[in-house]
């Protein structure tokens, strides 16, 4: 070739590829970001499985940190068996033979029977409900709840001046019959089961 495009000498121009420095910078930044995300995810997984660096506590009842209470079971007060309760049955209605009939049924259910007859003037024809269970103050959480399973609608009363451990069943105008035996037995079983209570806990 001649003229101004004539190549002189033994050196020829070389076609260099465009520089890729910009691409390398972008790739380096992207790689660093990906590695950072992988590392952060790994730390999160470690935190989940190790409990955030806290040692796992031994298995046991869960603690309510809001109230600081731990559920636990406690046994109810010592309740007597039906055979350890003496029941006096009194009729405060105008229906004859009601006291004896009820006393006989209670005896079949295991209760000891004391006096049977008509109610005194204080209660005679004055009990509108199904009945009244009356006993000394000490019977409120012992024998009275046990007897109440046999007549669930009865009213419970105590007399602080009363002596002895016997309890009275005073039948009222609303009385028809004792609680069905199957239901009474279930109530007795539930009465004897431990009740859950809350005990304080200082740490969560």
The pTM of the full predicted model, rounded to 2 decimals, is 0.60
The answer as to whether 132 is a domain residue is yes
The answer as to whether 11 is a domain residue is no
Digit-coded pLDDT (tens) for 140-188: 999 999 999 999 999 999 999 999 999 999 999 999 999 999 999 999 9
Q: What are the residues whose beta carbons fall under 8 Å from the beta carbon of 76, sequence distance 6 or more?
A: 191, 192, 193, 194, 195
- For residue 110, count other CB atoms closer than 10 A to its CB: 12
DSSP annotation string for 126-141: T--SSEEEEEEGGGTT
The answer as to whether 122 is a domain residue is yes
How many folded domains does the chain comprise?
1
Q: What residues does 195 pair with on adjacent strands?
A: 74
Digit-coded pLDDT (tens) for 99-133: 999 999 999 999 999 999 999 999 999 999 999 99
The answer as to whether 67 is a domain residue is no
The answer as to whether 15 is a domain residue is no
Digit-coded pLDDT (tens) for 68-81: 444 444 445 579 99
Q: Give the integer Cα–Cα distance in Å for 156 and 85.
A: 16
State the residue range of the domain holding 87.
82-192
Q: What is the CATH number of the domain that holds 145?
A: 3.30.70
In the prediction, which pLDDT does 192 show?
A: 85
The answer as to whether 92 is a domain residue is yes
The answer as to whether 37 is a domain residue is no
- Exposure string over 22-38, b if 16+ CB within 10 A, otherwise e: eeeeeeeeeeeeeeeee
**Residues 118/52, Cβ–Cβ less than 8 Å:** no
Digit-coded pLDDT (tens) for 83-97: 999 999 999 999 999
The answer as to whether 28 is a domain residue is no
Burial class (CB in 10 A: 0-12, 13-18, 19+), 57: exposed
Q: Give the integer Cα–Cα distance in Å for 1 and 199.
A: 105
């Amino acid at each position: 070739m001649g003229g101004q495009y004539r190549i002189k000498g033994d050196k020829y121009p070389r076609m260099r590829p465009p520089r890729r420095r910009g691409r390398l910078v972008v790739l380096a930044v992207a790689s660093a970001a990906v590695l950072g995300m992988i590392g952060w995810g790994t730390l999160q997984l470690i935190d989940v499985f190790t409990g955030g660096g806290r040692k796992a506590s031994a298995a046991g009842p869960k603690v309510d940190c809001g109230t600081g209470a731990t559920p636990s079971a406690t046994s109810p007060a010592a309740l007597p068996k039906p055979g350890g309760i003496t029941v006096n049955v009194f009729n405060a209605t105008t229906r004859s033979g009601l006291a004896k009939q009820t006393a006989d049924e209670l005896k079949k259910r295991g209760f000891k029977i004391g006096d049977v007859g008509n109610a005194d003037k204080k209660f005679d024809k004055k009990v509108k409900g199904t009945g009244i269970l009356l006993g000394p103050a000490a019977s409120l959480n012992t024998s009275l709840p046990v007897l109440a399973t046999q007549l669930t609608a009865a009213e419970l009363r105590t007399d602080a001046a009363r002596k002895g451990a016997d309890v009275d069943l005073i039948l009222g105008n609303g009385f028809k019959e004792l609680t069905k035996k199957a239901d009474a037995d279930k109530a007795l079983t539930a009465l004897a089961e431990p009740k859950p209570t809350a005990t304080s806990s200082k740490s969560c």
